[in-house]
Amino acid sequence: QLQLQESGPGLVKPSETLSLTCTVSGNSISSSSFYWGWIRQPPGKGLEWIGSIYYGGSTYYNPSLKSRVTISIDTSKNRFSLKLNSMTAADTAVYYCSRRRVRGITDYWGQGTLVTVSS
């Protein structure tokens, strides 16, 4: 059974960089059939797609976040990562890692990790 698990700090200071990792078990991250990505949800609000990565390293980012986001993949450790720089209070959210099939069909999600931006 595929499982995705986010890890990283729950508290980040304003202007700092958020680093999260998603460890995948039960499926090779090198599969050519899937993309891996990040989605976030501010408390009490809707879902926002952050970006996706393919096992070969191709990345796709939300245009509104593109200047601050880097998603990378480590196939040897079966995990992928998110870096979001210049964090502000508006970036406070639950961050989900996910697997998607073609056409954005997101079929597996991590449990989510709450990241709070505060000094």
Partner 1 sequence: DIQMTQSPSSLSASVGDRVTITCQASQDINNYLNWYQQKPGKAPKLLIYDASNLETGVPSRFTGSGSGTDFTFTISSLQPEDFATYYCQQYDNFLITFGQGTRLEIK
Please, which residue, 90 or 102, has the CB nearer to partner 1?
102
Burial 35-62 (b: 16+ CB within 10 A, else e): bbbbbbeeeeeeeebbbbbebeeebebe
Burial class (CB in 10 A: 0-12, 13-18, 19+), 24: buried
Please, which residue, 12 or 95, has the CB nearer to partner 1?
95
Minimum CB distance to partner 1, residue 79 (Å) = 18
Please, which residue, 14 or 104, has the CB nearer to partner 1?
104
Minimum CB distance to partner 1, residue 46 (Å) = 5
Rule CB under 8 A: which residues touch partner 1? 46-49, 52, 60, 62-63, 96, 101, 103-107, 109-112
- Whether 12 contacts 45, CB under 8 Å: no
Minimum CB distance to partner 1, residue 1 (Å) = 13
